Amino acid sequence: MSEGKIYFLMILTTIFWAGAFIAAKLSITFIPAFTLTFLRFSIASIILYFVIIYKEKQVYKLKKKDIPVFLFTGIIGMFGYHVLFFTAVKYTTAINSSIIGASNPIITTILCIMFLRDKITYKRFLGIILSFIGVFLTITNANLSAISNIGFNKGDLLMLIAVLFWAAYSVYSKKVMTNYSPITLTFYSFVFCSIFLIPFVAYENPIKFMSKVPYYSYVAVIYMSIFPSVIGYLVQQMAIKEIGPSKTSIFINLVPVFSIILSVLILGETATLIKLFTTFLIIVGVYICQKS
């Protein structure tokens, strides 16, 4: 697959991930974190199973040596990141969680240098920093008082661990990608995550609240299962295989850009001049990083 096509698909994926934030807000109020994560990835597993049957005719048969691989990707990348993210949001502000989330490309690049012997060029480093500054200014609206009032709590620590888990998942995926196709790696990551979640879901006892969940929360769960999960993670694994985890992770910083666009189109919010400027910074940063 050409790099141009990978870039287009990753941009499309960031739109889906931006929509996932809206979907999460519509569902987390009514569905606890473990149950929400389980519903998202169990539904995604079923959908991906039929995709594999249609495309590849049969599902890859697990061997003993595969279990540690999918335990890592399923528990660290899926269970760990999403449960920590949903929990962190309860204890920290949207500004703090978003800024910490924007550090993902930096952390991923550091892990790539440590474990994959990746080399970072001056241009790529410049692109990452520009993009991070753009995200930081977008989230704080370039308001100095908002920046000076930022405090840190246990939610920030949980969010930082979540980002570390996500970066580790991305780097590890690259390392094992020679043994599995992107669709196989994504499918079994979803399956292992769903199985691992079962006792936690039992603890939350969904029977007592599922009947009270509004229909739009279920629609939000189905959206998260199909677009950010099945399509999003599959494209991400393809990108990691083709261009590496460091270049793939920088696309995450486009999520705030599309969040602004979706807010304008769906919620009727106004795009300020400063947000247009910071959007430009993010796009330039991503472009420089990819062209390096």
pLDDT tens, position by position, 186-244: 999 999 999 999 999 999 999 998 889 999 999 999 999 999 999 999 999 999 988 88
Long-range contacts of 64-71 (CB under 8 A, 24+ apart): 66/188, 69/176, 69/179, 69/180, 70/185, 70/188, 70/189, 70/191, 70/192, 71/192
Closest CA to 68 of 167, 199, 172: 172
Placement of tokens 């389980």 in the chain: 38
Residue 16 contacts residue 232 (beta carbons within 8 Å): yes
The CB-side HSE value for 128 (13 A sphere, CA atoms) comes to 21
Residue 152: predicted pLDDT:
61
Residue 109: predicted pLDDT:
82
Who wins on pLDDT, 223 or 159? 223
Residue 138: predicted pLDDT:
67
Coil/strand/helix, residue 73: helix
> 95: Cβ–Cβ under 8 A, 6 or more apart, which residues?
139, 140, 146, 150
Q: Per the confidence metrics, is the pTM higher than 0.85?
A: no
Domain ranges of the chain: 3-291
Coil/strand/helix, residue 279: helix
The 10s digit of each residue's pLDDT in 107-153 is: 888 888 888 877 777 777 787 787 777 777 766 666 666 666 666 67
Across the range 43-58, mean pLDDT stands at 91
Answer yes or no: is pLDDT of 49 > 90: yes
Please calculate the CA angle 116-76-24 and round it to the nearest 5 degrees: 120
